[in-house]
Amino acid sequence: MEDWSSFKNVMESNNPTLNNQLEKSFVFVLNPIDVNGELPIEVAPGHFFQKANTEHIKKIKELMNLCRTSLQVSFLPPLYEADYTKVPDTKQDSGWKCEPLSPDRWRYWVIVFDGTNAELEYIGYAASLLCNDLELGFTVLGQTFGEAILWHGQSLFSFFENQAMGQPAVSITVDELREIPENYNLIKNISPDHEHVTRAFRKFRDIRSLPRSSELVTIALFSIIESLITHSPKHNESADSLGHQIKTKLPLLRKRFQRELDYNQYFRPASEETLWSKLYNYRSCVVHGEEPSFANDLQTLNDRNKVLEFLKEIVKLLLLLSLREPVLLTDLKKC
């Protein structure tokens, strides 16, 4: 697997407070989450998901300041140390209400490990498939390597830009976290015969470098779905079109998904076939530079954000299925 992170040597950062070395390396989990259950959990051999300790938090805050300067982004200072609730729009007030948390409830989480960062890409893939997917941020390599950090500037910028628009914390159970090592083991053992699955994972990862609400994300998600279950359509055969392949194959695959897919969670009530027809109408609008009309033809889909949420979940479910039944998806792709 390719190295996706930019490398920055902390010793060259001109920030002397960063030069105190840690005994172990760690990667910071970007998402502000609450975890219910007993920790730590081993998410890969020698890699443990746990609550950040005092030294981790100190390092994380210093790196956030460094990122703020390097990436020229404005973090919400109490992002991991407060609850944000949306205040209803009134004549008197609007926006977000911030309620500070006590330090024991701060939402700093890390994955601690010894050795190199070689497994983090696989762990990142595995964590991205959770229902409440997790995203790995900067990595701090400890004493063995003379202390250095790794990060990917575009995805960090995109993540914090999205958080600035208001993303409340979510609760995750340890049972969800235990899915990470299961996914990790499957990802590590993808056969070279299913290289299209590996490419789909890379595309899914690369989307995080884009603005989270960009129409380019929509196009990319459709592309991943198509790459996993469709073949290039034959010319002049409507029964072999991408839309037709999607509408006929997904209802079959949905029965084998690891999690239930509830269309009503995203869209207004309609048949599965109708919804996919609307989704491909929306895709066509985006690809051809037209303005989608959610007030008229596409009102069944509610809005752009619901479409993005749905497509992201579909991609995760298809990737999970491709890990567990790669031969099935490879054969179906040819049909």
b/e burial code for range 22-40 (CB count within 10 A of at least 16 → b): bebbbbbbbbbbebeeeee
Q: Which DSSP category does 78 fall into?
A: T
Reported as a single tens digit per residue, the pLDDT across 145-203 is 567 889 888 898 899 888 765 667 899 999 999 999 999 999 999 999 999 999 999 99
In three-state secondary structure terms, 95 is strand
Low-confidence ranges of the chain (pLDDT < 70): 1-23, 71, 73-78, 88-96, 143-146, 164-167, 235-240
Helix (H) or strand (E) holding 171: strand 170-173
Return all residues near 32 (Cβ < 8 A) that are at least 6 apart: 79, 80, 107, 163, 167, 169
Q: pTM for the whole thing?
A: 0.88
User: Residue 50 is encoded by which pair of tokens?
Assistant: 């746990």
3-state helix, strand, coil in the chain (%, to 5): 50, 15, 35
In three-state secondary structure terms, 96 is strand
Report the DSSP beta bridge partners of residue 83: 99
Reported as a single tens digit per residue, the pLDDT across 190-234 is 999 999 999 999 999 999 999 988 999 999 999 999 999 998 877
Residue showing tokens 């990667």: 27
pLDDT, position 168: 77
The span from the first CA to the last CA of the chain, in angstroms, equals 30
User: Residue 86 is encoded by which pair of tokens?
Assistant: 């949306």
Residue showing tokens 């989307």: 207
Residue 7: closest CA among 126, 115, 113, 146: 146
Return all residues near 311 (Cβ < 8 A) that are at least 6 apart: 218, 221, 222, 225, 279
Contact 257, 285 (CB under 8 A): no
Residue showing tokens 């595995």: 126
pLDDT, position 45: 97
Helix (H) or strand (E) holding 138: strand 136-141
